[in-house]
Amino acid sequence: MPFAFRAIIIGALLFAPTFGFAQDFSLPQFGETASLEVSPRTIIEPEMDVTVAAQSSLIDLDRASLMWWVNGVHDETADGNKTFATKAGALGSETTVVAVIDGANGLHAEPKVTVRPTMLALLWEGDGYTPPLYRGRTLTSPGSNVIAQAEAQFIRKGVIVPPQNILYSWRLNGQRLGDVSGRGKNSARIPITELFGDAILTVEATSLDSIFHAEQSVRIPQVEPQVLLYRDHPLLGIDYHHAIPETATFADSEITVAALPYFSNIRSPFDKTISYDWTIENKRIAPDAANPFLVTLSLAEKTFGSTKVGVFLRSSVNVLQSAQKQWSISLSAQAAIEQLPSPFPTQ
């Protein structure tokens, strides 16, 4: 037999398809006969609705016989469907779903998947400045950082998987952050490089044995730094509870006000990288060298009417870290006198 002819016969034998009826029949060169895909794919929380879909490139599922089993119990109501709806159990539980598939071409498969509910919380805040008693979340501004903390709850057989046995992968706008990702790295300090728009922060947590997996994303809005004005009382200090509105009247002949920069990339109003440009009636005045964020407004006795007070904050290291605002403030020494208690008792 010629050599070329023998090679053709050998090649045909090597690549000829073979058929059998053993369970979990598969062709290695094509991968698994059938598989199950679980939705949602990012995270399955306790008591969440779950959909399991059968998939196969070798079996025509529309012509095949499908039976569904959950934790060893046959669910006859779902037979024939390519998808199966169930509900995840409590945290730490396991739900095993098996699809028994018999294809019209003789192929048989029993793919299975185990649903393990998890919890993954993703907390964040900006590292910019907010004054004491501020109750909200510190937002991020261009050039600032976001501080993120991920808390994963993976429980198997009543045992909580410790953070050091979990791989954390951080992504910002889809780009993996390798320097803050890794085993046990459930917290991160991430620079926000986008100048405008929102940033999408994502964390993916996976146990070392790959049994547990969860993913969470948050949208981080970018805001411009803001400046608010507060009264600095000589005895009580700065009144952090009440910001001065754009138009305000005080029954005093003299008050001191403080300009506080919200969400600026600084640690305190004393930060040397930020400057305060004060104006009164659109005329620039020199700030206090020791306390540049403070200015004293003083009017002569019997002087009435409003005064325009403005402040412009700017950073020496980031041109985007700036804020400005103007207020109309009225001081009245006569009103202050009228509010004093009378030395004579009333009848």
For residue 249, pLDDT over 60 is answered with yes
**pLDDT computed for residue 265 by the predictor:** 87
Q: Which of residues 87, 115, 143 is at a domain's end?
A: 115
Instruction: Read off the pLDDT of each residue in 264-280 and give the average, rounded to a whole number.
Output: 92
Q: What is the per-residue pLDDT across 191-235, written as a single tens digit (0 to 9) for each? A: 987 767 889 999 999 999 999 999 999 999 989 999 999 999 989
**pLDDT computed for residue 333 by the predictor:** 63
Structure confidence at residue 305 as a pLDDT band (50, 70, 90): low
Question: Could you tell me the two tokens for 235?
Answer: 């005895």
182 and 244 inside one domain: no
Q: Is 46 within a domain?
A: yes
128 and 214 inside one domain: yes
Lowest mean pLDDT among 25-34, 172-181, 268-277, 293-302: 25-34
pLDDT higher for 346 or 268?
Answer: 268
The DSSP symbol for 15 reads H
Measure CA 235 to chain center.
41
Instruction: Read off the pLDDT of each residue in 244-264 and give the average, rounded to a whole number.
Output: 93
237 and 332 inside one domain: yes
Whether the link from the prior residue into 40 is cis, omega within 30° of 0, is: yes
For residue 304, pLDDT over 70 is answered with no
268 and 304 inside one domain: yes
243 and 333 inside one domain: yes
Q: What CATH code is carried by the domain that includes residue 152?
A: 2.60.40.10
**pLDDT computed for residue 153 by the predictor:** 96
CB atoms within 10 A of CB 27: 12
Q: Is 14 within a domain?
A: no
Q: Is 343 within a domain?
A: no
Instruction: Read off the pLDDT of each residue in 137-150 and give the average, rounded to a whole number.
Output: 92
Average pLDDT, the chain: 85
For residue 105, pLDDT over 90 is answered with yes
94 and 128 inside one domain: no
Q: What is the per-residue pLDDT across 38-69, written as a single tens digit (0 to 9) for each? A: 999 999 999 999 999 999 999 999 999 999 99
206 and 244 inside one domain: no
Q: What is the pTM of this model?
A: 0.77
Q: Which of residues 57, 91, 115 is at a domain's end?
A: 115
- The DSSP code sequence of 92-126 is T--EEEEEEEE-TTS-EE--EEEE---EEEEEEEE
Q: Which of residues 220, 242, 263 is at a domain's end?
A: 220
312 and 215 inside one domain: no
The proportion of the chain whose per-residue pLDDT surpasses 90, expressed as a percent, equals 69
Q: What is the per-residue pLDDT across 115-135, written as a single tens digit (0 to 9) for each? A: 999 999 999 999 999 999 898
Task: Provide the domain limits for residue 189.
Answer: 119-220
**pLDDT computed for residue 334 by the predictor:** 55
Q: Which of 114, 122, 215, 204 is nearest to 156 (CA)?
A: 114
Residue 250's region, left for phi above 0, alpha for psi from -120 to 50, else beta, is beta
Q: Is 161 within a domain?
A: yes
Instruction: Read off the pLDDT of each residue in 85-89 and give the average, rounded to a whole number.
Output: 95
- For residue 96, CA distances in Å to 32, 36, 42, 113, 163 come to 19, 11, 18, 6, 26
139 and 154 inside one domain: yes
Helix (H, G, I), strand (E, B) or coil at 286: coil
**pLDDT computed for residue 91 by the predictor:** 95
For residue 21, pLDDT over 60 is answered with no
Looking at the 3D structure of the chain, how many domains does it have? 3
For residue 336, pLDDT over 60 is answered with no
